[in-house]
Chains A and B, each alone.
Chain A
């Protein structure tokens, strides 16, 4: 095989709207779309870091923007999307991890998902506790 045959274009299967054809595909695209919200939140934080480096006035202006109704609604949407990411991430994890052996027996998919979700809850509570403890 050496190079394409001139004048021929390979057939490409049309891909328009395949993901709307059944609920499994639809769910797949929805959990993939959570990445857009992860990126949006990362951008919010990055802008915050840059504003922090510019001094108190810049930081306070950024905080003021966070208090606007538009920002609150925006963050509620991001919260829903990223929570859904957490849920799907640990539901998919049994299929992305190599088999885990525990006392010679393979750890079940349900056990992996449960452990992951439990870890997320515990880490979230610790995070909230630290913020509460340090500055509340």
Chain B
């Protein structure tokens, strides 16, 4: 018989870290970012409507700082949300672990790949 020793490392800390980083980043910059891109610029409220013009945003996405910022915001927001939603589904009594896990971590994974693809196409990385 013998005791079966599980030597496999848990991947939980990685997801928890991504959840924490995304939660912190969205808490710090989320509200202002939503206000700028979704309300102020489209309405011309406090900021000019051409603030997010193609040229402006392209220059930003081409800069190292801009590309890192965009990558961090988009991917970490997804990982934060996925992890939190997965745990909420569990709290609501949905024990279909594998389906929920595939969805809640699969979407952020696909989103991360799409972000890398888009930033590569724009010409950074």
Contacts and interface: CB of A to CB of B under 8 A. Distances in A.
Nearest to A33: B88
A41 to B, nearest CB: 6
Given A79-B38, A127-B36, A136-B47, A120 B84 contact: no
Contacts of B92: 15, 19
B48 A135 contact: yes
| 9 nearest A-B residue pairs (beta carbon) | A75-B38, A15-B93, A39-B81, A42-B77, A53-B121, A35-B84, A124-B32, A89-B27, A82-B30
A109 interface: no
Interface of B: 22-24, 26-39, 41-43, 46-48, 50-54, 56-58, 61, 70, 73-74, 77-78, 80-82, 84-85, 87-88, 91-93, 95, 107, 111, 114-115, 117-119, 121-122
A72 interface: yes
B119 A90 contact: no
Interface centre among B39, B114, B119 (most CB of A within 10 A): B39
Contact of A45 (B37, B54, B81, B87): B37
Task: Report whether over half of chain B's contact residues are helix, strand or loop; otherwise say mixed.
Answer: helix
B35 A79 contact: yes
A124 B29 contact: yes
Contacts of B95: 12
Task: Report whether over half of chain A's contact residues are helix, strand or loop; otherwise say mixed.
Answer: helix
Nearest to A34: B84
Interface string A98-136: 000000000000000000100110011001100110111
Given A52-B57, A75-B34, A128-B32, A35 B27 contact: no
Interface of A: 12, 14-16, 19, 29, 32-33, 35-36, 38-39, 41-46, 48-50, 52-54, 56, 59-60, 63, 66-67, 71-72, 74-76, 78-79, 82-83, 85-86, 89-90, 116, 119-120, 123-124, 127-128, 131-132, 134-136
A136 to B, nearest CB: 6
Contact of B54 (A15, A46, A56): A56
A46 B50 CA distance: 20
B77 A38 contact: yes
